[in-house]
């Protein structure tokens, strides 16, 4: 029995009916390279033979009675891979819109907490002959880095690569403890660390002091970092529903690299600039363009930087997206300066701020507060904390195969949080930048338009870079 670290458990407490806290990855496969042709059983068997390489896939969540402590994971004695691997067909005509509807439906449904917190749906019947694997895993089990590592266990370097060797030791499932045992174990752990909450409060107080000192200590000519609750209201910054829409696409990574080199910026700055230009076009079309920057919350990996325990080693920083500017180069250069200020603030605060926040409130109060906030639609009645979330995840630079099928694309989709009805996640993959856009259907319609704008924005930035390089 392994108790979840507070920051991992926080993703469980944040979950509400309208805001499930899982991440979704869609792997597009070309089955023409599969030995003997395409077979659903081959994909299922591939997952089955690699299950020992995917530790979260056999762990079942148990809640401690009365929430006296964080939940625990056990090795599920009732694990059955057939409870997690499903098969379906995309409806005619089998294009990207039809596949997107399936992804949105799957992404909008919470995982069953009575089983290990993952599922994979194999979607056949696409018009182009590809097969899609829609992989969904709860955020309590993975973050961006560990999710990419987990996904890599499904890939091979060659289409006819041999199956991985079996585990050296036979897997032994756990006995399901009684409620009394869970209560006693949880109470004992709490008694052994009675000051956890007080330490969290102390560290959080110190973080507030560091944040204020960093902000107030800037010279008059220094750029102030973006702060929460300074975002303008838009149509997608309100309360969420359970409905999800998605869109996805690819951009040429070489285009982003050229822009980076010419304008002396980071790849992430180019991604944010493409998002900014795409959002400006999208908001203009919906007559919803604000006269000030949007605020994006960007997850930041802190693996090896802080003292966090648990799977999720993540912090975050706020970044301004200057949608009020109409020139893409001006947007890019503004973002370059703003990300510098945000990174300085993030470094001043420290890598453990989310850990401290998760220890501030008792679990049951945290969860009930989130559910009350969601059910009352309070996100629509105050200034937004942020407008959206943008994540940039490194991916594989080389061709890969899954069950012998060539990996064509990997589209990532993160969770939505109350008040921020759009999430854009990008992943570098074999010379491309694969991206996924997910939003609340009622507040963020026409996401295919936004995705198409992103692709065009990358090309527009590349054209600007070529013009500068040509003198």
Residue carrying the six token digits 């399901």 = 176
Residue 139 falls in the annotated catalytic set: yes
3-state secondary structure at position 294: strand
Q: Which residues of 12-43 are buried (b: 16+ CB within 10 A; e: fewer)?
A: bbbbbebbbbbbbbbbbbbbeebeeebeeebb
Give 82's Cβ-side CA count (13 Å radius): 1
DSSP state of 246: E
Distance CA 309, CA 293 (A): 35
Q: Where are the beta strands (DSSP E) in 258-362?
A: 294-301, 314-321
Q: Which residues contact 100 (CB under 8 A, 6 or more apart)?
A: 245, 246, 247, 248, 448
Residue 439 Ramachandran class (φ > 0 left, ψ -120 to 50 alpha, else beta):
beta
CA 436, 19, 15, 59 dihedral sign is negative
Q: What angle, 0 to 180 degrees and rounded to 10, lies between the N-to-C axes of helices 267-285 and 328-349?
A: 120
Residue carrying the six token digits 């629509």 = 380
Tokens for 293?
Answer: 């920057």
CA angle, residues 103, 105, 108, in degrees to nearest 5: 105
Q: Which residues contact 380 (CB under 8 A, 6 or more apart)?
A: 238, 239
Distance CA 414, CA 445 (A): 17
Distance CA 413, CA 415 (A): 7
Distance CA 432, CA 116 (A): 32
Q: In what order do the strands lie in the sheet with 59-62?
A: 2-3, 72-75, 59-62
Catalytic, out of 22, 84, 138, 139: 139
Q: Where are the beta strands (DSSP E) in 233-332?
A: 244-252, 294-301, 314-321
Strand 72-75 versus strand 59-62 pairing type: antiparallel
Number of Cβ within a 10 Å radius of residue 227? 16
Contact 420/297 with Cβ under 8 angstroms? yes
* Size of the chain in residues: 471
User: Which residues are catalytically annotated?
Assistant: 139
């Amino acid at each position: 029995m392994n108790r979840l670290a507070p920051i991992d458990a926080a993703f469980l407490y944040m979950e509400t009916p309208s805001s499930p806290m899982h991440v979704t990855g869609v792997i597009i496969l070309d089955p023409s390279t599969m030995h003997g042709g395409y077979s659903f059983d081959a994909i299922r068997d591939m997952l089955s033979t690699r299950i020992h390489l995917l530790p979260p896939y056999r762990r079942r969540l148990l809640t401690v009675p009365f929430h006296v402590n964080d939940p625990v994971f056990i090795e599920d004695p009732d694990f059955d891979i057939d409870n997690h691997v499903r098969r379906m067909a995309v409806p005619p005509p089998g294009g990207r819109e039809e596949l997107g509807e399936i992804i949105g439906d799957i992404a909008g449904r919470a995982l069953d907490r009575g089983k290990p917190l993952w599922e994979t749906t194999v979607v056949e019947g696409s018009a182009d002959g590809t097969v899609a694997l829609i992989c969904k895993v709860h955020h309590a089990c993975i973050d961006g880095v560990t999710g990419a590592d987990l996904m890599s266990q499904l890939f091979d370097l060659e289409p006819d690569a041999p199956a991985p060797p079996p585990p050296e030791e036979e897997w032994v499932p756990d006995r399901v403890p009684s409620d009394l045992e869970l209560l006693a174990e949880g109470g004992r752990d709490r008694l052994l660390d009675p000051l956890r909450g007080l330490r969290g409060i102390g560290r959080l107080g110190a973080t507030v002091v560091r944040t204020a000192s960093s902000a107030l200590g800037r010279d008059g000519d220094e750029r102030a970092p973006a702060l929460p609750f300074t975002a303008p209201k838009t149509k997608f910054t309100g309360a969420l529903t359970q409905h999800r829409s998605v869109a996805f696409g690819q951009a040429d990574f070489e285009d982003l690299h050229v822009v980076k080199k010419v304008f002396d910026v980071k790849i992430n700055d180019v991604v944010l600039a493409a998002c900014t230009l795409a959002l400006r076009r999208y908001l203009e079309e919906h007559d919803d363009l604000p006269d000030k920057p949007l605020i994006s919350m960007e997850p930041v990996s802190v693996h090896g930087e802080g003292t966090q325990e648990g799977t999720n080693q993540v912090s975050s920083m706020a970044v301004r997206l200057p949608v009020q500017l109409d020139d893409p180069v001006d947007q890019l250069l503004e973002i370059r300066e703003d990300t510098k200020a945000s990174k300085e603030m993030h470094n001043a605060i420290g890598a453990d701020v989310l850990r401290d926040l998760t220890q501030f409130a008792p679990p049951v109060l945290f969860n009930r507060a989130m559910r009350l906030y969601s059910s009352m639609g309070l996100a629509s009645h105050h200034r937004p904390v942020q407008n959206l979330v943008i994540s940039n995840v490194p991916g594989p630079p080389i061709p890969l195969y899954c069950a012998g099928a060539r990996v064509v694309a990997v589209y990532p989709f993160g969770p939505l949080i109350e008040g921020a009805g759009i999430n854009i996640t990008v992943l570098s993959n074999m010379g491309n930048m694969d991206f996924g856009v997910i939003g609340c259907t009622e507040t963020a319609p026409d996401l295919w338009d936004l995705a198409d704008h992103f692709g065009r924005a990358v090309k527009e930035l590349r054209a600007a870079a070529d013009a500068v390089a040509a003198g």
